[in-house]
Amino acid sequence: MDRARELLRSGAWLTRERILLIAVAVLIASTAGFLYLVVTANGLIDQQGRPLGTDFSDVYAAGTYVLDGNPEAPFDLARQHAREQQIFGEATPFYGWHYPPFFLFVAAVLALMPYGIALAVWQTVTLCLYLLTIRAILGIPTRPASTIDRTPQGEADTAIGHLWLLLALAFPAVLVNIGHGQNGFLTAALLGAALVQLDRRPLLAGILFGLLAYKPQYGLLIPVVLATSGRWRSFTAAAATVAVLALATTFAFGPHVWQAFFDSTRFTRVVALEQGDTGWYKIQSLFAWARMWGANVPVAYALQGALVVALGAALIWLWRSAAPYPLKAAALCLAAILATPYTFDYDMMVLAPAMAFMVVDGLSRGFGPWEKTALGALWLVPLVARTMAHVTLVPLGVPMMLAMFVLLLRRSTIRLAFPMASPGAFILK
């Protein structure tokens, strides 16, 4: 037992060979599962009677309404379901449209294509954006492999360059996101890229933060961080971006589309979240955890609110401290997903930039006790989060993300007294 505990504490079990084995196994299983879903489908409908890309069907249906000149229709539950049934068949389940009106621009462009092509384009483009963002965070060299130097640093860069893509693609949230035709790739790319550019190009970072308004629940703590850390250029650019999006939406679709949107939010809040009709086990938040365990709605909101306050206070302290920037960026990614009561397992794509920033700091300063093991567990958790919550009523994503956040805060408060890891040690060991 002592030996096992020490292996977990030090992270010595996480060797390069073991990382490769796990990542390849997950990637092969994920690819096989996805291909099986596609080849056994009847046209656009899978074996369970759902459209391929399930949740993407509501984006496509909404886009067809925009092309028909009815941008308010997707916010009407009955009309939205009727259009989905018209496209995919009478037995199609209801997939609600829960996005702000400016996401209708994206939906309309995608609806110009046949459904299968639109789904492939959406997933491919956003997946590439996600991968480019992770590459930017890690600072992977862009030189050809033959020109990379053979110094220890150069060898470490080569090893990272050979492994980062596998880990990014095999991350279990990738399959969950692809299977649902969801937007996790885009969310991770926008948040990660904004944090990469924040100190280099603050106006660009602000624009990227502003574009995240298509998922407003993830922007709760971003303005707090920008304001309290004095990044006013990014704050102003983000606010201006949201304002421009709102004006463009109003000009294109008319002011009534906003009333339709606000009216529709009651269904999202009451039915999908508070009553758990979507399935609380699918929602990886403290609110859903409390509801699964029998808490009433006010108590669940109180717990979630207390968590938001605690996260906000921690972020203010961290971003005003002298902690390394990668830790600040990772903390904001984790806090963004923990703060909202409405987050699904495919939204765990946001954990990818968080982990990438943590690895950057670990490779430069060494890893502390439990940190390698926590990173490995965080990478794996989307694979089992939904199933475990369904079976055991414990949404593993929440305690795992909270544990990682606490370790991150601990790391930011100490000068690392443990031996410095050599460059690439996390991957080469």
Q: For helices 104-111 and 232-253, give the axis angle rounded to 10 degrees.
A: 60
With CA atoms as reference, report the closest residue to 405 among 375, 429, 381.
375
- Tell me, what amino acid is at 399? P
Q: What is the pLDDT of residue 122?
A: 97
Which tokens belong to 62? 């909404």
pLDDT tens for each residue of 301-312: 999 999 999 999
Q: What are phi and psi of 112, to 5 degrees?
A: -70, -15
Residues whose CB is less than 8 angstroms from the CB of residue 206 and which lie 6 or more positions away in sequence, other chains included: 194, 226, 233, 234, 235, 236, 237, 238, 239, 240, 241
Report how far residue 383's alpha carbon sits from residue 109's, in angstroms, rounded to the nearest whole number: 32
CB 177 within 8 A of CB 185: yes
Q: What is the pLDDT of residue 97?
A: 92
DSSP class per residue in 29-90: HHHHHHHHHHHT-BTTB-TTS-BTTTTHHHHHHHHHHHHTT-TTGGGSHHHHHHHHHHHH-T
CB 382 within 8 A of CB 176: yes
Which tokens belong to 120? 């492939």
Residues whose CB is less than 8 angstroms from the CB of residue 142 and which lie 6 or more positions away in sequence, other chains included: none
Q: What is the pLDDT of residue 8?
A: 79
Which residues on adjacent β-strands are paired with residue 51?
45
Q: What is the pLDDT of residue 278?
A: 83
Regions of the chain where pLDDT drops below 70: 140-161, 415-429
Which residues on adjacent β-strands are paired with residue 344?
283
Q: What is the pLDDT of residue 161?
A: 56
CB 64 within 8 A of CB 111: yes
Q: What is the pLDDT of residue 419?
A: 42
Residues whose CB is less than 8 angstroms from the CB of residue 247 and which lie 6 or more positions away in sequence, other chains included: none
Report how far residue 292's alpha carbon sits from residue 299's, in angstroms, rounded to the nearest whole number: 12
Q: Which DSSP letter does residue 99 get?
A: S
Q: Which DSSP letter does residue 421 get?
A: P
Q: Residue ranges per domain, the chain?
A: 123-428
Report how far residue 329's alpha carbon sits from residue 319's, in angstroms, rounded to the nearest whole number: 9
The H-assigned helical ranges of 72-151 are 77-88, 104-111, 115-138
With CA atoms as reference, report the closest residue to 268 among 20, 98, 76, 60.
98
Report how far residue 300's alpha carbon sits from residue 274's, in angstroms, rounded to the nearest whole number: 9
Q: What is the pLDDT of residue 143?
A: 43
Report how far residue 353's alpha carbon sits from residue 136's, in angstroms, rounded to the nearest whole number: 10
**CA of residue 186 relative to chain centroid, distance:** 8
DSSP class per residue in 218-247: GGSSHHHHHHHTT-HHHHHHHHHHHHHHHH
